[in-house]
Structure 1
Amino acid sequence: MQEECVTESMPEFAPEPTPDEADTDLVVVTGVSGGGRSTVARALENVGFYVVDNLPQALMLDMAQLAFEAGGAARRTAMVLDVRSRAFSTDLAGAVRALKDRGFSPRVVFVDADDEVLIRRFESVRRSHPLQGDGRLADGIAAERKLLEEAREQSDVIIDTSHLNVNQLRRRVEELFGGEDARRLRITVLSFGFKYGLPPDADYVLDARFLPNPFWVPELREHTGLEEGVSGYVLGQEGAHDFVATYASLIATTAPGFEREGKRYLTVAIGCTGGKHRSVAIAEELTAQLRDIRLSAHSSHRDLGRE
């Protein structure tokens, strides 16, 4: 009797899409001198862009292609142009069209400000306008506006910085290009031992030495604050939970203000004598409470294992 051969068909998997030029996040930043391009560039770096400053327009397409081929973090690239780069070419609109013809989707940001504001800014730093020559500041500003007229008209985003301070301008860029996570304050809760010195980068320093030291408890001495026995002992002492809750509340209260002022990283250092027992247990508990109230926090233990 002939056996019937049954062939099982293999499941078909759709191939992963191959990235193309449109997947490269390109931002072109231009605008008037004194408008705030440098601040925009730093803000873009803060939200993960690879920033190329003073790039000649003739190299924009080459730079975009390099970013695409490099992949990874380079897929978010910002190109910042000013009058020095425009010495190689004045056809920004043509350079942007060339990018689009190649398949890229650049976003053009134009940074602007009122003439009176620009004059005050130049005078405050006592420098001349790049296009001023032997004329007045106003002449240089007018010449640059003429040069940038078409670029301004064809830009995707115009940011008027006339009434923005540095922090407000940075927040505006982060709102446009960073997403919510890029603007969040990241908190490091760092345990340390006072006998090894204070952490130089600490924003807050908390002292856990008011709690009894597990070092003097023989069965806990060789263990650390990461272990349940030590952690339970430390947190079970009078005042320990109030200590953690008080500082969690303080950090929660101040975190929005730090974010508004542009601070992205906060280090809360908690010390005990050697950085093995009390500070480690308190740091872990404080980190957990901060996470419970939806703050971005992680723990780190500088001196653990050092003894």
Structure 2
Amino acid sequence: MAETLNLVVITGMSGAGKTVAMQSFEDLGYFTMDNMPPALLPKFWELVKESGKITKIALVIDLRSHAFYDQINDMLANLDNTAFVTTKIVFLDATDAELVSRYKETRRSHPLAQEGRLMDGIRKERGLLTELRNRAQIVIDTTNLSPRQLREKLFVTFKSADHPTFHLEVMSFGFKYGLPIDADIVMDVRFLPNPYYVQKFRDRDGRDREVYDYVMDNPAAEQFYQQFYTMLASIMPQYQKEGKSSVTIAIGCTGGQHRSVAFTERVGKAFQAAGYPVDITHRDVDKRKATVNRS
């Protein structure tokens, strides 16, 4: 295996935020697993080592699998002596009062108190996890953290240059084929002159230089673009601040062939030039029909 496997073990008190943490690591590009029995892990490591394709894994361990708990410390000790795995333990904690409040809110039972008092289960779990907490390189107290704040904290700690934590999807579409259901922002450019009615442009699309120039040379198009891009550029940092991992900007015309395609190309490339990771797609550009297509 050419690269070292980066393993993050997510553990801690039940109710302290392990589900949020696992979802955050998924968005960071980690292969995530929730409570794989420790006895199966050695075989899994061998498969990973042989494949050479997985380099980042986040493994959640909590006391839902307490029958296997005695094996966990042995597994971690073995990993410490494995040359191809670099391990970090993230331990999530919260005060007893906060954990009780969260369990009361969700009406779930504690894994160690299904037939007893909630506080008895919390105390028992703290005792079992003491050694693991002492071994953890990163301990996060989530008592006063919202899920978004926990996510941000993990992003700051673990984000890497090869996997940006925020990216844009800029897409064109045709209103005649329906709105894209995954769009965060939708803009309509049907107010611009339609290249479809210029015979030489009818069977071409907005990626063609002549068609692109025809759309963009209109003064109304230039004024709209400047205002639209300025607005988008001003709000993207706010989306990032709120913990969004991606934003989809959908730009539509009638058929999704000319005007929307040209604008999508321009907006997408402007954001790329500004340093954002951007995917540019054209959902309906090839849905040309023999009937009238007023794109």
When normalised by structure 1's length, the TM-score is: 0.87
Deviation, 1:111, is: 1.0
| Distance in structure 2 (CA, Å) of the matches to 1:279 and 1:255 | 21
Query: What's the counterpart of residue 227 of structure 2?
Result: 246
Q: Percent identity?
A: 39
* Alignment partner of 1:144 is 2:125: yes
Give the aligned length: 287
SS at match of 1:89: helix
Letter matched to residue 276 of structure 1 = Q
Q: Could you tell which deviates more after superposition, 260-269 or 234-243?
A: 260-269
* Alignment partner of 1:194 is 2:181: no
* Alignment partner of 1:93 is 2:76: no
1:209-228, aligned counterparts within 5 Å? 209-228=190-209
Query: What's the counterpart of residue 292 of structure 1?
Result: 273
Letter matched to residue 62 of structure 2 = D
| Distance in structure 2 (CA, Å) of the matches to 1:211 and 1:186 | 28
Deviation, 1:182, is: 4.2
* Alignment partner of 1:118 is 2:99: yes
| Distance in structure 1 (CA, Å) of the matches to 2:76 and 2:130 | 15
Relative to 1, partners in 2 of residues 1:181 and 1:24: Cα closer, same or farther, differing over 3 Å?
closer
* Alignment partner of 1:45 is 2:35: no
Whether the 8 Å contact between 2:24 and 2:155 is mirrored in structure 1 is: yes
Whether the 8 Å contact between 1:57 and 1:86 is mirrored in structure 2 is: no
Question: What whole-Å deviation, never above 9, does each CA across 1:120-168 have from its counterpart, x for those lacking one?
Answer: 0011111221112543211111100000111101111111111111111
Query: What's the counterpart of residue 19 of structure 1?
Result: 2
1:172 to 153, 156, 160: 153
| Distance in structure 2 (CA, Å) of the matches to 1:45 and 1:203 | 21
| Distance in structure 1 (CA, Å) of the matches to 2:232 and 2:160 | 23
Q: Could you tell which deviates more after superposition, 155-164 or 211-220?
A: 211-220
| Distance in structure 2 (CA, Å) of the matches to 1:254 and 1:181 | 24
| Distance in structure 2 (CA, Å) of the matches to 1:68 and 1:181 | 21
When normalised by structure 2's length, the TM-score is: 0.91
Query: What's the counterpart of residue 76 of structure 1?
Result: 56
| Distance in structure 1 (CA, Å) of the matches to 2:35 and 2:219 | 60
Query: What's the counterpart of residue 293 of structure 2?
Result: none
Whether the 8 Å contact between 1:235 and 1:241 is mirrored in structure 2 is: yes
Over aligned residue pairs, what C-alpha RMSD do you find?
A: 1.8
Whether the 8 Å contact between 1:58 and 1:89 is mirrored in structure 2 is: no
Deviation, 1:245, is: 1.7
Query: What's the counterpart of residue 5 of structure 1?
Result: none
Whether the 8 Å contact between 2:164 and 2:277 is mirrored in structure 1 is: no
Letter matched to residue 90 of structure 1 = D
Q: Could you tell which deviates more after superposition, 97-106 or 44-53?
A: 97-106
Unpaired segments ≥5 residues, structure 1: 1-17
1:154 to 135, 144, 168: 135
| Distance in structure 2 (CA, Å) of the matches to 1:269 and 1:122 | 40
SS at match of 1:202: coil
| Distance in structure 2 (CA, Å) of the matches to 1:174 and 1:224 | 40
If you compute each CA radius of gyration, which structure gives the higher value, 1 or 2? Answer: 1
SS at match of 1:281: helix
| Distance in structure 2 (CA, Å) of the matches to 1:78 and 1:71 | 16
| Distance in structure 2 (CA, Å) of the matches to 1:64 and 1:135 | 38
